Structure 1
Amino acid sequence: MKITFFLTQDLNSPSGLGRYFPWAKELSKLNHEIKIYALHSNYSSLNNKREIIDGVEVHYIGQMHVKKFANSKVYFGSLTLLALMISATIKFIYYSLFDDYNVLIIGKPHPMNGIASIFSKIVRRKNIIVDCDDDETHSGNFKKTWQKLVICFFEKSIPKIADVVTTNTKYTEQRLIKDGISKEKIFYLTNGVDPDRFTNIDENRLFTLRRELGLENKKVVAYLGSMSLASHAINLLIDAFEEIVKENTDIMMLLVGGGEDFDYIQKIVNKKGIISRTVFTGRVNSGDIKYYYKLADITVDPVYNDIAAKARSPLKIFESWACGVPVLTSKVGDRNELFRDNFSCLRVSDNETPLEIKNAILIFFKTSSFDNHQCSDLSKRYFWDKLIKSLIDNNEKLFGKYI
């Protein structure tokens, strides 16, 4: 069976790395022929725009809507953005018409890949899976109102032409139903974890990294993710940590990642007088991220109780578990469902306020006699091979005729 992905992000972006590539890799392991056509966050810097990774053929065909380099993320002006969108749309349309595939998977229904999926359905009558792993309308960092309106239109419209719509949260499932998508067409495909990325820890390397970052003999609270305040409530953790340092001299805060607010967040931490107790790493190589999880005693997924958080299934939760590290978050969206079954590995605060986060962290360090194997064992439920097998088994009508 030949399956093609159209992605508007690269394989180093969160969903590309943590959701779409492992999805593609598992399909490849099942002897399907997989291609990915994707946009890249720094397209002009690429020397090789085509590569084979774990049996998956990857083609980068244009620039993403943002440019990422070093620890920064830069948004393009309206005219440049429009030109990039038009260029990417034309290329996606070309491959939708002339690439050889049986099923087209749209990773996030954006204008560029969304318009191409319409050509695929109408002109070639191909089967289409649309994956909605976020509420793009409410989580995007839009500079102009028209940008938000365009995204909203495609987010609501493209799933209607799909044969199967996948989503990773119950909130988005209900939103899709309200938008007119048949419940029978929706498949709940939770986020998961690729175990290949989080095994084979070199203990000497981990020891060296801990020493280089000044975390020896320290308790570590970590946040790993985008340094973007528009979509990630890192300020809640920072405000909580400001209070923690007044009561505990052994706890350090580790912030891993880059983004448009990286410099601003550093200034906030410095202004609060907690810079000496904070370690910023900037962006790190995706192959090394497991070591940064392993540095932590507990990781934090700080969120507000808003639509963006309800529609998001944080990959960092599953990745932290895979490394044997518990997670502190709030009872928002599917996090609450995970909490019900997995209390020992997911410490959930009732109200995501700095005070609640502070108290939960201090209680964790005072009372925890934690077995790291609990989380690593739990993560096995969410290995991508199991999730993709479930997707295929539950959509036999779509996949069966090609197998």
Structure 2
Amino acid sequence: MSSSSQSQNIDVTLSLSLPPRNDSLNPQERGIKLIKLLLSCANHASSGNLHHADTCLRHISELASVTGDSMQRLAARFAAALAARLVKRWPGLYKALNNGGLVGFDMDRAKSIFARAFPCLDFAYVVINRTLVQALLGEPMIHVVDLGCGDPKLWVPFIRAMADGPNGPPHLKITTVGITNEAQERLEGRILKEARISKMEIEFNHVNVKLRDLTLDMLKVKQGEVLALTSILSLHVLLAEDDSVDARFGLSKTSECKQMTEFLEMVRSARPKLVLLFEQESDHNSTRLMDRFVEGLHFYSALFDLIDATFGASSCSNRATLEEMLGREIENIVAREGLEREERHERFAKWGVRFTRSGFRPVQLWYDTMDEARKVVEGYEPRGFNVTSEKGSLMICWHDRPIYAMSTWGLF
């Protein structure tokens, strides 16, 4: 750092949200410097060198800002996550600093902004609906289990398509898991209205528990029902393990994920026709902090670039809310360990290993699904989204970077 920059060091107590001080670096040079500082800070944090990590954070705070360009905003979020990891070494201090939480943050609003601004969920809904209709049309008794979504936009088109089946409307049961009672009421109201129009008999089963507490009895699967399960950005929380973490060096040792294995075995025992999985296409489940930190930088830099392209350079409340949601994910990936670290995203290839070991096989998506998904994605602004296929999965990409993957699984 130059002597002029050193003379302008800001106090460590200042917020990362303050705009950066003037420097001689252009945006590209500043971005490169921020990445180097972040990686250095993560390395010091993982090795327990608090003094050097603190020095890196002070330098980052001079260049990063949650109101700057996408790289500055991304760096501010990752720096805050690293700071949280360091402070967690003193549980009393960490709890005191975070006792009140963020007042006024609305997670439901953030998810709604994400759903409206980007085609990712619409992409998932189209593929899920097309696949379910192709597999279930004509069945007299259908039971679909929605693991944590609860969006009428997913189920209303499905009901309309099934109502026009060759044998007339089937008896349909929808089981929702892990959504709030308010979301369940909204879903039921919308679907019952559609059921009356379609003259379809629909039964609801709401299971208000976390996925880790779900049992087969709660699903109330009856003989004669053809079963299918959908999971949209939900299943990765079951990868959380009670890791043994070295308090000084942040090293952890994780055995095979018993919780996920038992869950998939439970699902297999119910003999589903299909399991549909939509997850982040990134690997944030390494026991090594540096591995998931580097992977996180790649993944979230694509999302922050996408946010810039969507909302423009000027700051706005929607962008801030969305990035606060992503910032919470980043903090969970970087600062948490053990059962607290639930944002353990894995790539499709690793999910494939887990499902195959549990007795599932990949189901090839129907040929016209990709064309329909592309039409949905290409209808969004800004331009830059595309859909690719890889070994039985469909992936939505931002330019050349896969960001979410859709896959379908059946029994051997």
TM-score, normalization by structure 2: 0.29
Q: Which has the higher strand share?
A: 1
Q: Which has the higher contact order (CA 8 A, sep 6+)?
A: 2
Larger Rg: 2
Please report the TM-score for the alignment, with normalisation by the length of structure 1: 0.30
